[in-house]
Chain A
Amino acid sequence: MEKKLTKEEVLHVAELARIAVTDEEIKKYQVELKKLLDDVEKINEVEGYDDEILIAPWSNHTDLREDAEGEMLEPKQVLENAPRHSGNYIQVPVVIGESEGA
């Protein structure tokens, strides 16, 4: 088994996390991330782990909510915690590309 991740693997993870890393940090994470992954790998050694999807350590089911409107925030309150806004919109630096979700 490899002792560390490749530089490309670290850069890929950094890109997904949208963080910049220095060469020194890359070297550090090549080892540290690998160690973390190896620890997580140990879960696979537990017998029967794959039998069912575990969501939470309890077995109760979801309570459904009635489709009825509740209180909402005023736009002013929404904007209070935003560093910048433009009219009622929250403003962020332009992001190239489209939504990843949905």
Chain B
Amino acid sequence: MSNYIATIGVEVHVELKTKTKIFSNSKNGYGQMANSLTNVIDLGYPGTLPTLNEEVLNLAIKAATVLNCKIRPEIHFDRKNYFYPDNPKNYQITQFATPIGYDGYVEIEVDGEKKKVYIEEMHIEEDTCKSTHRGVKTLLDFNRAGVPLIEIVTKPCMTNSKEAKAYLEKLKELLFYSDISDCKMEEGSMRADANVSIRKKESDPFGTKAEIKNIGSISNVGVSIEKEIERQAKIYDKGETFKPQTRRYDDKLGDTVLMRVKETGNDYRYFPEPDIPFVIVTDERIKNVKKTIPMLPDERREKYLSLGVSEINTTKLIQNRNLSDYFNHLLEEKISHQTASNLLLGDISAYLNKTEKDITDTTLSKERFIELVNLVSNSTLTSKNLKEILEIILESKDSIQSIMKSQGIENITDDKEIREVIQKIISENPESVEDYKNGHDRAIKYLMGQVMKETKGKANPKMANDILKEELQ
């Protein structure tokens, strides 16, 4: 396997998050009763005409923008002709000659090294109906027919499965964060095909290409590419060759299997779709769409790290879009952002998971969260006490301090009161004081324990700690 250089290109289909279908006003939905989301246009009835959904155009422009593509100012659609029951018109409306986006790139990082994955083109098309094979029959559900898709095609610029996986992760993150698609591979709203060929040396022409279709998860993309490289290498090692072909990844076999020897592009007899005149993509539309792009993951990462949030918390926040959006409202506030991220990812996440709620379903307004962060930062509210009252905090609208009071969580923050207790403890424990002065760090912990015991746990721990150190000088 290591004797060969692999060349990999990836094609991704993504379903767009619109209310209605691309060419008809029936609902774009998933998981509903079969054939309940259709009309005569989706079913390809004679005499019906497609009309382009404006939101599809907007989302495609948005996708082209986040993928750093150039945007074509005038586009049209083409018919891709083929006979198959998933498409009763006997053609799919797609874009062949004038894809809306082209010459883009996505930046990935593999093993600490940054690399650009180049996008050849990105076009708009309609999804086909979903066919399910059951023994001797095939069952058709047209709910998916006409769901808007964008297809994103990379240049053959990747050389291993790690890069392909990193590209897909990045693509998913970008499209999800820009509200273009749900990107749920398990529900088919994001589907990936990989083109794989191998050759001996960089100077050799590209080897014969195999396309692996409809791979169901990002990790399977990795496995199927590796298996395919192995398979091709074995053939070449024997001095044999193979024809260009389409394969699919079989999850149970853990390997790729042959589907068909590939038809060529000419067989689809593409020609311009006469039912949809040219679409003009104006600068004004592009400008307006750009305004709707939220802060993207890379920018979030940079911002969080600059505010002192740890690497691991930054990654976890970005993985949870809702928490990250919530956190974004606090970026300008003068608080400990690390503490804020700890709270969101720790106790608050545990509560949200348990109650299956979203952060925005709780009563935790920005103002109350800031109060909470500050109380935790200065140790007025200990993590033990926080756990006791967290549910109340997230379900009532009272200030955090009034909740603490009503729940009997007192906190002695009076300098004089704490100092008196500490002076008493010091005079009662001369040995520990001696130990501390001789460099035994454990002694201070013992003394702190005595202070907390004396105050029944009510002394503000941070203040007590500071005063104790002061008094021991």
Interface residues of A (CB under 8 A from B): 16-18, 53-56, 58, 60-75, 78-79, 86-95, 97-102
Contact = CB atoms under 8 A, between A and B. Distances in A.
A99 B131 contact: yes
Given A16-B267, A55-B274, A64-B54, 14 more contacts: A18-B83, A53-B76, A65-B53, A68-B20, A69-B26, A73-B39, A75-B35, A89-B35, A90-B35, A91-B139, A95-B131, A95-B138, A99-B86, A99-B131
Contacts of B97: 53
A57 B210 CA distance: 41
A25 to B, nearest CB: 18
A88 B33 contact: yes
B259 interface: yes
Given A88-B33, A94-B137, A64 B277 contact: no
B34 A89 contact: yes
A98 B214 contact: yes
B84 A56 contact: no
B325 interface: no
Nearest to A82: B140
A100 B94 CA distance: 13
B36 A72 contact: yes
A9 B42 CA distance: 33
Interface string B139-181: 1111000000101000000000000000000000000000000
B85 to A, nearest CB: 5
Contacts of B85: 92, 95
B141 A100 contact: no
Enumerate the 6 nearest inter-chain pairs by beta-carbon distance, A residue then B residue, closest first.
A70-B25, A67-B55, A89-B139, A64-B54, A101-B92, A88-B34
B96 to A, nearest CB: 10
A9 B432 CA distance: 99
B400 interface: no
Interface string B58-99: 000000000000000000100010111111000010100110
A17 B292 CA distance: 45
B292 to A, nearest CB: 14
Contact of A72 (B27, B51, B133, B139): B27
A58 B272 CA distance: 14
B128 interface: yes
A91 B413 CA distance: 75
B279 A62 contact: yes
B143 to A, nearest CB: 10
17 contacts: A16-B83, A55-B277, A56-B277, A61-B278, A65-B51, A68-B25, A71-B39, A73-B39, A78-B35, A86-B137, A88-B35, A89-B34, A93-B136, A94-B135, A94-B137, A95-B84, A102-B92
Contacts of B13: 102
Contacts of B139: 86, 89-91
Contacts of A60: 277
